[in-house]
Amino acid sequence: MGLGGLACWLAAMAQPQPGALSQLSAGFQQLSRRVHASVVRVSTVGYRQLEPEESEEPGVAARQQSSGSGVVIDPDGLIVTNAHVVVGAQRVQVMLPPRPGEARARSRSVRAEVVGLDLETDVALLRVGEKGLPALEMADSDHVEQGQLVFAFGSPMGLDNSVTMGVVSSPARQLRPDDPMIYIQTDAPINPGNSGGPLVDTEGRVVGINTMILSQSGGNEGIGFAVPSNVVANVVEQLRRTGRVVRGDIGATVQTITPTLAEGWKLPRDSGVVVADVEPERQADAAGLRVGDVILTLNGRELEDARQFNVSLFRPAVGETMMLEVLRGTKKLKLAVQVAERHDEASTYAELASREENLIPELGIFAVDLTPALREQLAPARSESGGVLVAARHADSAVLEEGFRAGDLIYAVNRMPVRNVAELRAFLKKQKSGAALAFQVERGGKLRFVAIEVP
């Protein structure tokens, strides 16, 4: 039943007619049957990086089992879920619902491949080796409105095939000021395990992917959030094409102007967007952008706050030119700024870390080869001839107190150059328990030695 049908029912309730409630219930039942055929449960076994409250040191990983939900978006086996459900997973299993129309049909568990994930939007794309799956259509989340009726599907607390109902509390909610990421807020009950499941409209179209709740008790308190479908569609397209998400950057930081900021910094206006930082020798610097410039328009579009500016950087292709109109004092200027790829080392480490094949148990770390492609994503390294990146440390490591840190670059051990993980593994296999190992590493741009004994 669409919104039009619901409106007719509400009008009919003003003049009650026999069977009106039954018709509404039947519409909801039909919607649930259709959507549930596309909703899956996702189970993972692997490693995750510990939260700040669990470990004082960043980049520490521990083994875990977790579960969430997902939704089929392509009949050829593509499934969307949350990145936090599958990050660090060694094995991903998807429980598919019974095939429609089959006698004595049962749910079936299949292995899934992680095509790619994006931590910033908390979206991941999976692929299973099955064809002809019932897929849900993506709605245009720009048309979602406050008060709109929505349904949250998934497997909360491991309870398969669950649905809850509510309304859109806000169609574009920011959790932090100037955060480029926006969410659909809903009061439809969302609980642990709902993560990755679809939030759908009354036509059964996906308006968002359930991702988190705000709660003081740990349970549902009517404040749930979903990633808008338009954001999901953009991320999925990039993950499908390249396995990663590329975002733009111009080497500048902007903030929303407040009256207090305008008065204290002597800005020419008390609202809009101001440039807070311009990184030397980056694109914004080369274009002539300066700290204190007020950005009036971006590609002809007026800007009201920093979120609009940051969101705009999600979309342009690397190498594209953006036109900025800025106010510097009383003078208006037009600047052409080229978009570069944004690099995020923390996300890079998290995506590389916690995979079983990267675990080096003798050192209690997860390590990856420092390839040319990875080197481009990190700060300039002191060595240009290979090396190994420490992506994370294992929480159960015997050398946890005095070993490596996430982000360390290993160049040598006992004066022997380490060009890749295979060479490091081969060297460690030859060492006896108690043997002394002296590693040369780069940490924060500075070389140092890390000395440990083989456990």
Give the domain CATH number at 337.
2.30.42.10
Residue ranges, the chain, pLDDT below 50: 1, 346, 354, 399-400
Is the domain of 189 the same as that of 334? no
248: closest CA among 216, 219, 284? 284
Residues 212, 121: Cα–Cα separation, whole Å? 12
Is the domain of 219 the same as that of 104? yes
Residues 339, 284: Cα–Cα separation, whole Å? 9
Residues 302, 309: Cα–Cα separation, whole Å? 10
Is the domain of 235 the same as that of 257? no
Domain boundary among 303, 326, 341: 341
Domain boundary among 341, 371, 397: 341
The residues carrying an active-site annotation are 84, 122, 195
Domain count, the chain: 3
Is the domain of 197 the same as that of 264? no
Residues 87, 125: Cα–Cα separation, whole Å? 11
Number of helical (H) and strand (E) elements in the chain, helices listed first: 10, 27
Q: Where do the DSSP E strands lie in 174-266?
A: 183-186, 198-200, 206-213, 224-228, 248-249, 252-256
Residues 32, 204: Cα–Cα separation, whole Å? 8
8 Å CB contact between 287 and 337: yes
pLDDT at 351: 56
Is the domain of 307 the same as that of 426? no
Residue 24 belongs to some domain of the structure:
no
Q: Where do the DSSP E strands lie in 315-357?
A: 321-328, 331-338, 340-341
356: closest CA among 116, 89, 92? 89
Count CB neighbours of 218 within 10 A. 9
pLDDT at 399: 47
Is the domain of 189 the same as that of 337? no
The residues that bridge with 108 in the sheet, in sequence order, are 96
Domain boundary among 293, 322, 341: 341
Give the pLDDT confidence of 22-69 residue by residue, as tens digits. Answer: 888 888 899 999 999 999 999 988 766 666 556 655 556 666 777 889
pLDDT at 283: 92
Range of the domain at 352: 345-453
Residue 386 belongs to some domain of the structure:
yes
Residues 414, 440: Cα–Cα separation, whole Å? 8
Overall size of the chain counted in residues: 455
User: Rounded to a whole number, what is the distance in angstroms from the first to the last CA of the chain?
Assistant: 64
